Structure 1
Amino acid sequence: MFILLNFNKTFSNKKETFLKKVSFLLFQESDSLKYEKIEKLFKDGQDEKCLINALELLKHNINEETKYKTTFLISEIFKINNNHTKSISYLKKALKILKEDNNNLDSKYYQTTDLYLSKTYLNLGNEYLRLGKQDSSIYFYNKTLEIKSLDKEFISYRAKALSNLSGVFMQDSLYDKAKEYVLEAITIHRTLNNKISEAAALGNLASIYLGVNDFDKAKKTYNEALNLIKFENSDKALRIRERLYLNLAYNLYILKDYEAYRYQELSYDLKDTLRDKEIRRMIEELDFKYNFESQKERFQKQEELKLLKEKDKARTIVLIGLVIFTILLVLSVYFYLRRKNLALKLKQTELLQNQKIEKLKSESQVRILNATIDGKESERKQIAETLHDSVSALLSSANLHLQATRKQFNGSTPIEIDKTQEIILEASHKIRDLSHTLVSSVLLKFGLKFAIKELAEKYSNSVLNIDTNIKNTRRYEQNFEIKVYNITQEFANNILKHSNASNALIELKQENEKLYITISDDGVGFDKNSINIKDGLGINQIDARIQMMKGEFNIQSSLNNGTRISIILPIVEKVAFNHV
Structure 2
Amino acid sequence: MDSIQSWINQSKNKNLDLSSKKYLLTKAYKFIIKNKLETPIHLSSIAYEFYNLNDSINFFSINKVAVETSLKLNNDYALGDSYWNFATYYAAKENNQKAYKYFNNAFKSFNKGNFKFEMARVLFGMAKIKGEYKDYNHSEILNIKSIKLLKELKNHKFLFTGYVHLARLQEDIKEYDKALNYYEKAKKHLKKLKKIPVKFNFIENNIANIYIEKEKYSIALKFYEKNLAKEITKIHLARVLDNRAFCKLQMKDTLNVKKDFFHALHIRDSLNNKTGILMSKIRISDYYSYMKDTINAIQYAKEANLLAEELKNGRDYLTSLKQLSNLDKKNSKKYLDRYIQYNDSLITVERKAQNKFTRIEFETDEHIEEKERLGQQLIWIIGGSISIILISTLLYFLRVQKVRNEKLQLEADQQKANEEVYVLTLQQQAKLEEERVKERNRISAELHDGILGKLFGTRVNLGFLGMQMNTDTQEKQQAYLDELQSIEKEIREVSHKLSDNFNDANINFTTIIKQLLSDKSVIGQFTTHFKSDDTIVWNDISEVTKANVYRIIQEALQNIIKHAKAKNVTLAFSNENEKLVIQITDDGVGFDTKKSRKGIGIKNINSRVAKLLGNVSFTSEPNKGTHLQIKIPIT
Bin for the TM-score computed over the shorter chain: 0.3 to 0.5
Structure (1 or 2) with the greater helix fraction: 2
When Rg is computed on C-alpha atoms for both structures, the one with the higher figure is: 2
TM-score, with structure 1 as normaliser: 0.45
